[in-house]
A and B are shown apart, each in its own frame.
Chain A
Amino acid sequence: MNKKSRFSDSDLVEAINEKDLLEQAILQLYQDHAEITRSFIMGKGGTEQDADDIFQETIVSFIESVQKGKFRQESGIRTFLISISKYIWYNEIRKRQRAGNREKIFEMDRDQKEEPVTEAIIDREMKQQLNKLLQELGESCKKILELFYYENLSMKEIVSQMHYENEQVVRNKKYKCLQQLTDKMKQNPLAAKQINELISK
């Protein structure tokens, strides 16, 4: 895939799964779809800031869907992104408890065809809470976990990047950090509920 060229929808999905092309893919998503999504959010009572935040969250959810193989390209990327944005925005309105506005908006869209929303964006509230728990771990923990689980760096590379004594120190630190995070998650009712549902299936 040419790094400089623009991606077709199918190429974009492939690019999202390639570490070196992800940034270019994100950039193209912004260039091609940000405005229409922003217009939708702002047309539904959102502010400019809301629109920017919702689109950012939409992109993250879309990438997550693609990387987990849950975007099957049954609809175009734009349709999919707008569906996610809608879902997130309605969810956000519900969260803010703006009852009057919320009811009005849901009434407006009740008869519309159900858009294909991936399960990757379900449990938004829980994900937000878990993200807060991750931030509570501190920067060094978060960094080690991200370098290992997202950047896919080896222990040796992490030692070099974060200036730890040796790989074993990093390995121990990573164990502890992950354990701390799971301990915190066990205290979270939404996470506990989801785990219970999973293991009782």
Chain B
Amino acid sequence: MQPNKEILIDYLDHQLNQENTEQVEIMVRNDKSLESELQYLKLAIDTVRLDAINDKVLAIRKSLGNTHNLTGIPSKTIVRSMYKMSIRAAALFILLAGIAVLYKYTSVSTLSVYKNQFTSYELSNMRGQDIRDTEVEAYRNKNWSEVLAVFQNQDNKSNKSVFLAAMAEMQLKHFPQAVSLFEKILKTNIKTGDNSFQDETEYYLSLAYLMNHEENKSIRILNKIKADTSHTYYPLVSKLSAIDLKIIELKK
């Protein structure tokens, strides 16, 4: 750097003593290039100061913007609102879950399960003119009293005859009688080693137990069927939820 320029800078920075200051002023007055240099230096210093002011104003502008957006009331309101909304959503969820549980608990009953599970037993086409056919005919005609009357007059009661009689009792809502007849079939099968009407009997006996206030026995049979995919009534029983069975157990 030329010595004169350094002196000019020192002059502008008030680093010169009185004597040197006056000398510089004289030199500048008499030298246009030096005067020009001094004016450029002043302009440079002005530019520096202006930039610093601009930075300061910009910082305040940003802080005002940040205060409004990040830490001001609107943001707090949003945060608080989100918090409240979350709490409300959780409370609503708990409430709805509670209502659902309560609804489930009150809506599930032995009767509701029975209604959902019970379907009329349909006889396949069987031909014959004997007394058993009379029972079958009565059953097909849904003449439940006639089914029972014919059943009572039989001398040799097959599992099929007993089963149709039990189903007639079910249709007439004579559940204790139905239970008795179904149990008879199971005992006979145990004795004879036969499986005639075994699956049908188990399934409808479980439903008869339900309506006969013997829920534990019912659930035991239903769980057995659920565990046996080869059981004729597995497709029907597998749709029955464990929760429903538990509710029935709790309610008994």
Q: Which residues of A contact B (CB under 8 A)?
A: 22-23, 26-27, 30, 52, 56, 59-60, 63-64, 67, 127, 130-131, 133-134, 142, 145-146, 148-151, 174-176, 178-179, 181-182, 185-186, 191, 194-196, 198-199
| B64 located at the interface, meaning its Cβ lies under 8 Å from any Cβ of chain A in the complex | yes
Q: Is the CB of A175 within 8 A of B53?
A: no
On whether A178 and B9 interact (CB within 8 A), knowing A26-B56, A30-B64, A186-B40, the answer reads yes
Q: Is B142's beta carbon under 8 Å from chain A?
A: no
Given contacts A134-B44, A182-B40, A196-B36, 16 further A-B contacts (CB under 8 A): A26-B57, A63-B57, A130-B47, A131-B51, A131-B54, A146-B55, A149-B49, A150-B48, A181-B47, A181-B48, A182-B41, A195-B39, A195-B43, A199-B32, A199-B36, A199-B39
Chain B interface main SS type: helix
- For B, the interface residue count at a CB cutoff of 8 angstroms equals 30
Binary per-residue interface labels of chain B (11-43) against chain A in the complex, 1 for a CB within 8 Å, 0 otherwise: 001000000000000000000100111011101
A186 to B33, CA, bound (A): 12
Which residues of the other chain, A, contact B47 by a CB distance below 8 angstroms?
127, 130-131, 133-134, 181, 185
3 closest pairs, A vs B, by CB? A150-B52, A182-B40, A181-B44
Task: Indicate if the CB atoms of B40 and A134 lie closer than 8 Å.
Answer: no
Task: Evaluate contact between B45 and A149: CB separation under 8 angstroms.
Answer: yes
Any A CB within 8 A of the CB of B60: yes
Q: Which residues of B contact A22 (CB under 8 A)?
A: 56
Task: Write the B94-112 contact mask toward A (1 if CB under 8 angstroms, else 0).
Answer: 0000000000000000000
B250 within 8 Å of A by Cβ? Answer: no
Q: Do A182 and B44 contact each other (CB < 8 Å), given the known contacts A131-B51, A150-B52, A199-B36?
A: yes
Q: List 24 A-B contacts (CB under 8 A).
A: A22-B56, A26-B57, A26-B60, A56-B57, A56-B58, A59-B57, A63-B53, A63-B57, A67-B49, A131-B51, A131-B54, A142-B51, A151-B52, A179-B5, A182-B40, A182-B41, A182-B43, A185-B44, A185-B47, A186-B40, A194-B43, A195-B43, A196-B36, A199-B36
Query: CA A145 – CA B47 in complex, angstroms?
Result: 10
